Amino acid sequence: MAQERRLPLLDALESCGIEVLAVCDCHEARRMLETRPSVHVVVTDTTLPDGDWRRVLEIMARSSPNIEVIVHSRLGDPKLWLDVLEQGGYDVLVEPFHYEEVQRIVEAAAARSYGRSHAQSISHKRKAARVG
Protein backbone atom coordinates (compact mmCIF):
# COMPACT_ATOMS: atom_id res chain seq x y z
CA MET A 1 0.00 0.00 0.00
CA ALA A 2 1.10 3.57 -0.46
CA GLN A 3 3.51 4.80 2.21
CA GLU A 4 1.12 7.48 3.49
CA ARG A 5 -1.56 4.80 4.02
CA ARG A 6 0.88 2.27 5.44
CA LEU A 7 2.19 4.45 8.27
CA PRO A 8 -1.06 4.75 10.29
CA LEU A 9 -1.60 0.99 10.05
CA LEU A 10 1.99 0.21 11.08
CA ASP A 11 1.68 2.68 13.95
CA ALA A 12 -1.55 1.04 15.13
CA LEU A 13 -0.05 -2.46 14.97
CA GLU A 14 3.23 -1.53 16.64
CA SER A 15 1.49 0.48 19.37
CA CYS A 16 -0.32 -2.74 20.31
CA GLY A 17 3.02 -4.50 20.78
CA ILE A 18 2.60 -6.57 17.63
CA GLU A 19 5.76 -7.53 15.74
CA VAL A 20 5.43 -6.29 12.18
CA LEU A 21 7.21 -7.59 9.10
CA ALA A 22 6.31 -5.15 6.35
CA VAL A 23 6.27 -6.25 2.71
CA CYS A 24 5.14 -4.34 -0.38
CA ASP A 25 3.52 -6.91 -2.65
CA CYS A 26 2.38 -10.52 -3.08
CA HIS A 27 5.77 -11.70 -4.34
CA GLU A 28 7.56 -10.28 -1.32
CA ALA A 29 4.95 -11.82 1.01
CA ARG A 30 5.55 -15.25 -0.51
CA ARG A 31 9.32 -14.89 -0.06
CA MET A 32 8.90 -13.70 3.53
CA LEU A 33 6.84 -16.77 4.40
CA GLU A 34 9.64 -19.03 3.16
CA THR A 35 12.03 -17.51 5.70
CA ARG A 36 9.59 -16.82 8.56
CA PRO A 37 7.40 -19.89 9.13
CA SER A 38 6.19 -18.57 12.50
CA VAL A 39 3.85 -15.95 11.00
CA HIS A 40 0.29 -16.29 12.29
CA VAL A 41 -1.44 -13.23 10.81
CA VAL A 42 -1.10 -11.29 7.56
CA VAL A 43 -2.67 -7.86 7.16
CA THR A 44 -3.06 -6.84 3.53
CA ASP A 45 -4.44 -3.87 1.67
CA THR A 46 -7.35 -4.47 -0.69
CA THR A 47 -5.06 -3.86 -3.68
CA LEU A 48 -1.34 -4.40 -4.14
CA PRO A 49 0.98 -3.66 -7.08
CA ASP A 50 0.91 -7.31 -8.18
CA GLY A 51 -2.50 -8.50 -6.99
CA ASP A 52 -5.15 -7.97 -4.38
CA TRP A 53 -6.35 -9.44 -1.11
CA ARG A 54 -7.70 -12.53 -2.92
CA ARG A 55 -4.22 -13.26 -4.28
CA VAL A 56 -2.79 -12.91 -0.77
CA LEU A 57 -5.36 -15.45 0.48
CA GLU A 58 -4.30 -17.87 -2.28
CA ILE A 59 -0.64 -17.49 -1.36
CA MET A 60 -1.37 -18.08 2.33
CA ALA A 61 -3.53 -21.11 1.59
CA ARG A 62 -0.68 -22.70 -0.38
CA SER A 63 2.12 -21.64 1.96
CA SER A 64 0.50 -22.20 5.32
CA PRO A 65 -3.24 -22.77 5.62
CA ASN A 66 -3.14 -21.81 9.31
CA ILE A 67 -2.24 -18.17 8.65
CA GLU A 68 -5.15 -15.80 9.18
CA VAL A 69 -5.57 -12.96 6.68
CA ILE A 70 -6.98 -9.58 7.67
CA VAL A 71 -7.82 -7.10 4.92
CA HIS A 72 -7.25 -3.37 5.37
CA SER A 73 -9.71 -0.99 3.76
CA ARG A 74 -10.08 2.76 3.75
CA LEU A 75 -13.86 2.45 3.65
CA GLY A 76 -16.31 0.33 5.61
CA ASP A 77 -17.89 -1.83 2.91
CA PRO A 78 -20.25 -4.62 4.02
CA LYS A 79 -19.84 -6.35 0.64
CA LEU A 80 -16.04 -6.42 1.04
CA TRP A 81 -16.37 -7.75 4.59
CA LEU A 82 -18.71 -10.52 3.41
CA ASP A 83 -16.44 -11.36 0.45
CA VAL A 84 -13.40 -11.57 2.74
CA LEU A 85 -15.18 -13.92 5.15
CA GLU A 86 -16.61 -16.09 2.34
CA GLN A 87 -13.18 -16.43 0.71
CA GLY A 88 -11.58 -17.54 4.00
CA GLY A 89 -10.22 -14.27 5.36
CA TYR A 90 -10.46 -13.49 9.05
CA ASP A 91 -11.74 -9.88 9.17
CA VAL A 92 -11.46 -6.37 7.75
CA LEU A 93 -9.72 -3.41 9.44
CA VAL A 94 -11.26 -0.09 8.45
CA GLU A 95 -9.76 3.37 8.75
CA PRO A 96 -9.61 5.34 10.95
CA PHE A 97 -7.90 2.82 13.21
CA HIS A 98 -8.92 2.45 16.81
CA TYR A 99 -5.93 0.86 18.51
CA GLU A 100 -8.01 -1.27 20.86
CA GLU A 101 -9.99 -2.68 17.93
CA VAL A 102 -6.82 -3.37 15.91
CA GLN A 103 -5.28 -5.16 18.87
CA ARG A 104 -8.43 -7.19 19.56
CA ILE A 105 -8.79 -8.33 15.94
CA VAL A 106 -5.11 -9.17 15.39
CA GLU A 107 -4.72 -10.98 18.73
CA ALA A 108 -7.90 -13.01 18.12
CA ALA A 109 -6.68 -13.95 14.63
CA ALA A 110 -3.26 -14.93 16.01
CA ALA A 111 -4.86 -17.06 18.73
CA ARG A 112 -7.04 -18.83 16.16
CA SER A 113 -4.03 -19.43 13.90
CA TYR A 114 -1.91 -20.71 16.78
CA GLY A 115 -4.73 -22.94 18.00
CA ARG A 116 -5.21 -24.47 14.55
CA SER A 117 -1.45 -24.98 14.13
CA HIS A 118 -1.19 -26.62 17.53
CA ALA A 119 -4.22 -28.86 16.92
CA GLN A 120 -2.82 -29.87 13.53
CA SER A 121 0.57 -30.80 15.01
CA ILE A 122 -1.13 -32.95 17.68
CA SER A 123 -3.23 -34.64 14.98
CA HIS A 124 -0.10 -35.40 12.92
CA LYS A 125 1.65 -36.85 15.98
CA ARG A 126 -1.31 -39.14 16.69
CA LYS A 127 -1.40 -40.36 13.08
CA ALA A 128 2.35 -41.01 13.15
CA ALA A 129 1.96 -42.99 16.40
CA ARG A 130 -0.72 -45.20 14.82
CA VAL A 131 1.38 -46.09 11.79
CA GLY A 132 3.26 -49.34 12.11
Check: CB of residue 53 under 8 Å from CB of residue 84.
yes
15-29, 65-79, 115-129: the lowest-pLDDT one: 115-129
DSSP code per residue over 35-79: H-TT--EEEEESEETTEEHHHHHHHHHHH-TT-EEEEEESS--HH
**pLDDT at residue number 55:** 95
Instruction: Give Cβ neighbours of residue 101 (< 8 Å, ≥ 6 apart).
Output: 93
pLDDT in tens, 97-118: 888 899 899 999 999 988 766 5
The residue extents of the domains of the chain are 3-130
pTM: 0.82
- For 84-92, what is the mean pLDDT? 96
Residue 119 has pLDDT above 70, yes or no: no
pLDDT in tens, 10-19: 888 888 777 7
Q: What is the DSSP letter of 132?
A: -
Compute, in degrees rounded to 10, the torsion defined by CA atoms 122, 127, 130, 132: -130
Fold assignment, 3-130:
Rossmann fold (3.40.50)
Q: Which of 22, 113, 58, 66 is nearest to 105 (CA)?
A: 113
